[in-house]
Structure 1
Amino acid sequence: MNLKPNLKIALIIITIIALISIGFKAKPILGNYDDFNPEKVYKITYRFFFKSGDKNTTLKTYIPTTNSRQRISGEQIKNDSLLFFTKQKEKHQNIRAIWETNDTNSYHSIDYEFIFEGKAKHYKIPNTFNKLSEEYDEYLKATNDIQSNDSIINTLASGLIQNTKNDREIIKNIFDYVYEIPSAPIITLTDALTTIKQNKASCNGKSRLFVALCRNMGYPARVKGGIIVENANKRTSHAWVEVLINQTWVPFDGLNNHFAFIPANYLELYQGDKPLITHTADIQFDYSYQIDEVNHVSFLKMNSEELHKLPGFSLWNLVDKKIIPKGALNLLLLLPIGGLLVAFLRNIVGLKTFGVFLPVLIAFSLSHTGFVSGIAIFVGLIMFIGLIAYPFDKLRLLYTPKLVISLTIMVSLIVVATHFGVKNNIEWLTKLTFFPIIILTISAERFSRSTLEDGYIKAMDKLFQTLIATSISYLILSWTWLPSVLILFPEIVLLIVVLATFLGRYIGIRWIELFRFKPLFNSENKKLNF
């Protein structure tokens, strides 16, 4: 691996420049490490507009608090001087913001702004639940809108509990029943019984029915209220359910099919079957939620302005000003990392793959489909291409027209499978977006060419080794913090050039060859010892 003097000097200079530039930024970045690691960050503004009545006027709304999966900061309140603002702590850690005024028949506006940082959370549900103490009895009681002791609820609960073996299966039956009720954008209050009778509901009706069924069967449950945050100016809030399982409140969303899971963009505001906003009756009132996603680095406490002030060079400006879509930029930055990894696997380990960057691109497509389902779809389509190419070989068609026919059939199959998945709610069939289809098509073309040039046995062997390289690339490239590191430290690309140069000069024996020729090496050592 001897390098020419001029090349060695150039590589040393590149390395020094990259390390110095990284060093300037490393200290302030390491000093602002954030172990909360939010997946989503939004700036949210409640905007209220109303005309006060003939007497004292009051407006109340629930505001969020920090917990294990969401962090609230940057609270700012803008309202006119005629409004008096207070906060009120209620039962179950709910906090209400209250605005009052004695000024009559006048117009008022309020902006209540905060930063929401959220992360998704999965819960593992045991088969059997522990018995609970009496302190949770309030979550087993019937209410006017959650009629858990009604005979209709009793009959339905009895049917859902049949042929179940444990608590988890019962909760799953309740969830599936509620989820299968057709969704409808009903803005009025829908109680549990009405949801059953009309067999359609929005989030609030489905949540009340879910809670009623759980309470009827002896599982403490409650309604949870909040907002699904997204880049939008919206007016709708959202409701889901929490069931107490072994001292943990576990979320279930029967509208959006989230079983024991809460997404990163769910803002939790209050618990209990309550309205989010209340105000004095018979006043003119309007409101909206202005939601703007904030670009962030998950492992840093630094805001956008602080990131712009970092010394040296970074690509944060491209992200913050949306000059390049973040997903596209991540792909561009991760490609060299993936390429270096595959080059190592080919030149040092000795794997044979379909090209250098194709395993990396396949790994990216797996991030859209999921690893297991993506590998299964990938292998299935590749095998399908091999099978449908066989009769065309018998017809002695030229390679290019034969490939066009095969790939056209494959793309048609993907489109039909996606349509079938959407129609029948088969999630894994709906994950073949445009990008994965392109990658799978290129892969199929490479496999088809390999079978023609090397035969099916060698093509299958190369496919297997490509899948190994793809799996390793997926493992590395799925590190969520890696794209952010490359955005903050683009100098790493220079280090990749240096490392790739060393790889390019490697002429030693590959690791696979060490394994293959191990008996030969052992016999040679025995002769030398003799």
Structure 2
Amino acid sequence: MKGVKLHVRVLAIVLMLIGAASTAWQIFALNIPVSADTEEPVWVIDTRISFTARPKNPIKVQMYLPPSWSKFITLDESFVARNYGVNIDDLEHNRTAVWSARRADGQQQLFYRLMLTQRSNTRFTNEEPGPQFRESPDLQGVEKVAVEALLKPIREHSADIETFIREAIKLINNTDNDNARLLLRNDYSQINKSRVLELLLSSAHIPVEQVHTVRLASGVSQSPELWMRSYNGQRWLYFNPETGSFGMPKDRIVWWTGSEPMVKVDGGHHLKVEINSTQQTVNSITLAQSIQEARDGNSWALSMYSLPLQSQQTFEIILMIPIGVMLILVLRNIIGIETLGTFTPVLIGLAFRETQVLWGIIMFSSISALGLGLRSYLEHLHLQLLSRLSVVLTFVVIVMALISVLGHQLGLDRGLSIALFPMVILTMSIERLSIVWEERGGLHSMKVGFGTLVAATLSHLMMSYSPWIYFVFTFPGILLVFMAFMLALGHYRGYRFSELLRFKALIKDGN
């Protein structure tokens, strides 16, 4: 016996660990929310390209797109252009979209929409290494002298690549520094300062490149902002060449790298680019599913959400049955409530989904009372069990039909849902109640019937609680945890609460 108990305990622990691990993996690895009401922000960035086409000239528009290594996860992107073909090319660090048309006249408009989430993209740091060394440019004359003069204090005041670049930016933005002014040629525009910064760092064999970013802000029309970045051997370091601030802000997305413009047009002029972003809220479960689809993941193939919608609605009910069964197990083995079997209260609780609890109790009590009367009458006829059950079943159907018709005539729509009560369950409940009546008396039969209704009501409340329906349907591994709990209760031999109350007087007398 000890070996069997140990076997059950080990099995329960294994099932609990598997169920808990499966649920934890879905929550933490797949980022599936634990609540159906959770919503998360999603950004929609709209880019409009407008230009005037040159008559009788082929049109080719090239636009940089956000790279696949962005720290944000792209959910969807779409291209809208009338009479244009579009192709997407993957470059070393960039992606480009190319619109093309044989002929176009007048004003032209092209649209690009990007939808992304600010959830962290783990590929951002793992799949995009960069160069760590760069050949110094061949400088001559005063430029060489100015660069060497600037590098000397930078080396003295820096300890690593990060501080080196920040010191370089500080000197370039210093309008009183003659060497910086010479290299800038009195042109303190952001593009020119980025050029000089790149020249200065290249002379120190530090690779650096331009990155163009877009800020995530609702209702603001904006232009890409220029930043600089360098790879330190472990991660990319981002710097603002205007202010020298370090680290890319959380509300910015890298759009493309390099010194070329965002959009180039062949066969057109008067180019204009507008970028607008808006924030929307999306249900978290929909967002998690979209992320897996965007990553081409197969993890959702084993999810209940991969089933057809009608099957999903069916399994939402089926998966809740173990919760009702577990409740009945607790009520019978721990509390000590007597019911008509284990599954009868659960099935009655399922019927309450349509009739609601109050109407369901009234209908169950009424039909059971009438059925008990008929069963008592049939007992005097000495019928065989099969014939007796057949008569009771037919009587139950007739009563259900009469209640439905009467309810419809009285305008009580709940009376129509009586047909959803399982006829066989009602028939067997009447038969069991009558047997209990004969063996234990009418009072005990009423007690068992009352316990069945209480258990069915509690089971219905648990199986119809929306947060639990979502959690069990989304994380079916939790059913293994329930199974482990059921196994643990299988060897419970202690007193029930009802028995403690029952023998309370004996305990006092013993003391």
Answer 1 or 2: higher relative contact order, Cα 8 Å, separation at least 6. 2
